Structure 1
């Protein structure tokens, strides 16, 4: 049984439009096929089942006048919150997600603030077996199957937390920073170890890791 104070009800009234808008976006965009996607199926393959099972949780984060570090301090505890959320069983847990909505961040500021927070926290999430995705109207990340498609554009700036899956290799091996790429690939291999469903992912991850280490060795030392 949920009990609300008058101030909580007032806050809920303010947050509800953003929750509804995001819920509709999940159903009408991420859970549906798109002609520009470049492959059959929904934009995000996991969303239809996650919606059906009611495993997606949303939270509105009020961030007006907050600086980047304050936003980071708000987001970071959700790593453990996600891990403690039911379901925890391996198969079912792949369908759960947390969406943190930031309606106070303007579309103009989202590329700077949302992307910066995501970039700083991503290593911690990846090494915990999770993915932290950045969504906003000006996201320029291309689709894997069509470089002209923008799958991470959303009506409200947000950060999304979910478990890492095998198909995330494409995102992890594309990190520009070699040290980060190595960390990501090591975390990826550790997460799946002997549980790879696709042997190609296992081979590609090892090859990408070996290549990144080789490239790092060849980088010239910067002397100060």
Structure 2
């Protein structure tokens, strides 16, 4: 039977948020922290870390449900707390066995469309995660010492992640499309991603 030290798992994740996520990285492809949201969100006290135990052999359906319930938890936090665009939820899965990490990736993919349509962004992290940096496809940015899921509000820079599928991009445009009417006020990389997605889906900019 696997024994998990919950307090130690949270300490490890906290250190990772401080020493990796909140700091610049030479391979990220831009200036600033790996995730620019985390440090200001932590200063504002709107990052909530929680632990979910899934057992030694969680099914694909269970992991999908963990991801989906994390969206519900985030929205509940937003409803009862002070509204903040920086609010983030970190769901730590310290007992998720290595042979289920790819199943965790699949669960994230299965729920991503629902997440986007709810105006939320979800990201999965674990020691062998192969998710790439949006600005440097050679850099596997989402490696963490403990498997976890992060949830936050969609933001304007998410055009970098939501141009692949039309339904994602249309949801993004419903929230941020007006910003691109003044391209001189938009980061050039974001505007380029916006134009590329418009062309891909035959949408007039």
TM above 0.5, yes or no, is yes
Partner of 2:36: 45
Partner of 1:161: 151
Does the CA-based 8 Å contact 2:58-2:100 persist in structure 1? Answer: no
More strand by share: 2
Pairwise CA distance, 1:145: 2.8
Pairwise CA distance, 1:195: 5.0
| Counterparts of 1:40 and 1:171, CA distance in 2 | 18
Partner of 2:197: 208
Matched, 1:140 2:124: no
Relative to 1, partners in 2 of residues 1:198 and 1:84: Cα closer, same or farther, differing over 3 Å? farther
| Counterparts of 1:199 and 1:33, CA distance in 2 | 19
Q: What TM-score results when the alignment is normalised by the length of structure 1?
A: 0.76
Partner of 2:63: 71
- Greater relative contact order, per chain length (Cα 8 Å cut-off, separation 6+): 2
| Counterparts of 2:47 and 2:107, CA distance in 1 | 21
Pairwise CA distance, 1:185: 0.4
Unaligned runs of 5+ in 1: 1-10, 176-180, 215-224
Does the CA-based 8 Å contact 2:160-2:193 persist in structure 1? Answer: no
Partner of 2:87: 96
Does the CA-based 8 Å contact 2:179-2:186 persist in structure 1? Answer: no
Instruction: Give the structure with higher Rg (CA).
Output: 1
Pairwise CA distance, 1:147: 2.6
Pairwise CA distance, 1:106: 2.4
Does the CA-based 8 Å contact 1:38-1:146 persist in structure 2? Answer: yes
Does the CA-based 8 Å contact 2:70-2:91 persist in structure 1? Answer: no
Pairwise CA distance, 1:33: 1.2
Partner of 1:18: 9
Partner of 2:160: 170
Partner of 1:198: 186
Across the aligned residues of Structure 1 and Structure 2, the Cα RMSD in angstroms comes to 2.5
Unaligned runs of 5+ in 2: none
Does the CA-based 8 Å contact 2:53-2:94 persist in structure 1? Answer: yes
| Counterparts of 2:65 and 2:39, CA distance in 1 | 31
